[in-house]
Structure 1
Amino acid sequence: MFRHALSLAVPVSLIALLVACGNGDTVEAPVRPAMVVQPQPAGDAMETYPGEVRARFEPELAFRIGGKISKRLVDAGARVKKDQPLAELDPEDVKLQLEAARAQVAAAEANLKLVRTERDRYQTLLARQLISQSQYDNVENQYRAGEARVKQIKAEFNVANNQAGYSVLRASQDGVIARRLAEVGQVVSAGQTVFTLAADGEREVLISVPEHAFERFRIGQDVSVELWSQPGKRFPGRIRELSPAADAQSRTFAARVAFAGGAMKAELGQSARVAIKAEGEVPLSVPMSALSAEKDVPFVWVVDPKESKVVRTLVRIGRYGQERVSVLEGLKEGDWVVAAGVQMLRDGQKVKPVDRDNRTVKLIAGE
């Protein structure tokens, strides 16, 4: 009897549940996390080159005199201020030269005092007509030579004094020491690079262009830059400098790419990729995991940036790559496309956009 009643109760409860679900109330689907990406230029229409973030200005710092390095006050990677001491030479030689110049100044001044006294005495004798004019002229010439000698020796003393100050190498401006090329105890010549300073300010990307692609580059050409620390995010740039000669070892041409927006928060030494568009119209591309199809009609899920809802968007696709597929029509560069779990979505469903590291993405049109 109990089994019979239970068998009747189960269908009744199921019917009641179905009636409750079919009473006209809409059950909203749960918000699902969705990994989103933006369409990128098709890989087969882009040329990418690896690069490194460098400073816009990189002066090479060197002593103005030669000598033996006695102190090294900073190392590579140190942040320095303008006029901060970086290294010092052994000062003994320049001190001796300065003392010698000082002694020569004292001797020249003493000689000038002597010939001045002699000239004054001969001037008195000439006024009394006790000596000839030629004798006085000879003494006058000695006096003028003594004056010139004092000026010469004082100039040499000033040079020696300046050289004593040149024994300390100072930073030319604020920045970071990018390279150290000398060590304590090393004898360096005047003008030999000791440090390379990466000056504060603008940042650029240094790339190497192979010989076969050099003709496709020109100064002012628009490019896009992607930092490895910010994958999937491209920054506009342009080629600012192009070396006219190839490197003797790598046979590549150095090119510097400036960020179009001016100052860019990029750390020195960061890895980057520079992408250059091929000639003609460049199609967009999305990961193959973002592509779906219904009745042989391809579509992708585009997230509405205002409501965070997915919208089924029909697309016309081109050639397939190893990981991406070209999209000829249906998408814009600023769209956000769901790249994973597309089979679990339905039109109008609300999602939580995240990136590849599961971080929340703020959907802003045109970002």
Structure 2
Amino acid sequence: MRRLILLRASTRHAPWRVFGLLIAGVLALSACGERETPEPPARPVLVVTPADGAGSGVAAFPGEIRAREESALAFQVGGQLLRRHVDAGAHVRRGQVLAEIEPNDLRLQQQSAQAQVAAAEAEYARARTDRDRYAALVDQQLISRSQMDAQDAAYKAAQSQLRAARAQADVAGNQAGYTQLRAPRDGVIASREAEAGQVVAAGQAIFMLAGDDGREVAIALPESRIGQFAIGQPAQIELWNRPGVRVSGTIREIAAAADPQARTYAARVALDGDALDEVALGQSARVYLSGDPSGGILQVPLTAIQPGAGDAKAVWVVDRATGTVHAVPVQTGAFGANTVPVLSGLQPDALVVAAGGHLLREGQRVSPVDRENRPQQPERPKPVDAK
């Protein structure tokens, strides 16, 4: 009887024990879940340093590899293009025949000019003989002096006609030689503009010849910043097919006037001699030029400026030690087209977030990269030992 009462008592309290065990298990699982919550990934951000003008001090311009001397080759006379001896991409030597036009008509003109020279020579010989005979007769007083003067004039006219005929023959001979188009210098045929059988006019481009005497990068400088650049200024050139490898060069030429439509100044950046073997005509390149129109004042992009407290302005700065961002109040100057000068509040080597600042929050972890998509890895914080 006593055992039956105890059994009933233990059965009556069992549900409460089970419920307590379930609560304890849920709390334990919740605690484990909180400990295993993964840290959110670092947000990628574009950063610049104010020391380089945030792109104002070191500017990158797209360009194309060109020859220093580019010549449009054309015939000096017109005619039908008879044959073409070279193709685009061929390397040619000075004096090499590149193309020919039909020479028959010009050869006939040359023959006609030579015939006129023969006729003028005969007329000159007759006039000279008559002059000598008239000179003997005038000494004997058999003819008048006026007749002698007329013969002298006829002799001089025949002499001038002979000179004119010979000059015409020389011109005709030169034109007959112009039926062959020859390379004026060593170089590469950059392009071909005509085909065999085509009738071409004098001066019409047949080939574009790129000389072997140097390679340059053709770029366009913006009108708003043209005062930052000058002839002889050093530059760095990076080929698009060789990222990260830069070769040296200098600005050789800047156009005196801006393009009326693009409002940019055409410029040429000459590559140093050591780099000539590494480039090919038509390659794309990026030219880096340094300039500081602000007299050393730090610059940041307009997109880096964020609203601060009241009317103040701020920028997000990446903490190199922790990899987190913090809002830093700054004092700015007059806004430019793309950048704004920072008068105070920033260090020259600070990593300033240049884009996407409106998506950040104080203390957020970020992954900074520069304009060339190269990671700017900050120092990783040391792990804290759990106690």
Q: Quick check: TM above 0.5?
A: yes
The answer to whether the Cα contact below 8 Å between 1:126 and 1:133 also exists between their aligned partners in 2 is yes
Give, in whole Å, the separation in 2 of the partners of 1:133 and 1:81.
64
C-alpha distance in 1, partners of 2:222/2:376? 34
> In the TM superposition, what is the alpha-carbon distance from 1:139 to its structure 2 partner?
1.4
Q: Which residue number corresponds to residue 242 of structure 1?
A: 254
Identity of aligned residues (%): 47
User: Matches of residues 97-176 of structure 1 in structure 2 within 5 Å?
Assistant: 97-176=109-188
Instruction: Tell me which of 232, 252, 267 is aligned to 2:244.
Output: 232
Q: Is the 8 A contact 1:236 1:261 kept in 2?
A: no
Q: Secondary structure at the match of 1:183?
A: coil
- Pair 106,297 (structure 1): closer, same or farther in 2 beyond 3 Å: closer
- 2: distance between equivalents of 1:195 and 1:234? 32
| Correspondence for 2:284 among 251, 271, 277 | 271
Q: Kindly report which structure 2 residues correspond to 1:1-367, keeping only aligned pairs within 5 A, or say none.
A: 44-45=54-55, 46-247=58-259, 250-260=262-272, 264-265=276-277, 266-279=279-292, 280=296, 296=322, 318-320=351-353, 324-325=368-369
Task: Please state whether the residue corresponding to 2:276 is helix, strand or coil.
Answer: coil
Paired with 2:179 and 2:144, the residues of 1 have a C-alpha distance of 54
Q: AA paired with 1:44? A: A
SS for the counterpart of 1:59 is: strand
Q: Which has the higher helix share?
A: 2
The amino acid of 1:318's aligned partner reads L
How many residues align structurally?
Answer: 269
Shift of 1:293: 7.5
**Contact 2:53–2:298 (8 Å) recurs in 1:** no
In the alignment, the residues of structure 1 paired with residue 284 and residue 132 of structure 2 have an alpha-carbon distance, to the nearest angstrom, of: 78
Q: Quick one: structure 1 residues 122 and 246, their matched pair in 2 at CA, closer, same or farther if it must change by over 3 Å?
A: same
- Unaligned runs of at least 5 residues, structure 2: 1-48, 300-317, 325-348, 356-366, 381-387
Match of 1:114, SS? helix
RMSD: 3.4
Larger Rg: 2
Contact 1:67 1:89 in 2 (8 A): yes
Secondary structure of 2:153's counterpart equals: helix
Aligned AA (2:204): Q
Alpha-carbon offset, residue 92 of structure 1: 2.2
1:129 is paired with a residue whose SS is: coil
What SS class does the counterpart of residue 64 from structure 2 fall into?
A: strand
**Cα deviation per residue 1:157-180 (whole Å; 9 max; x = unaligned)?**
111111111121110011001122
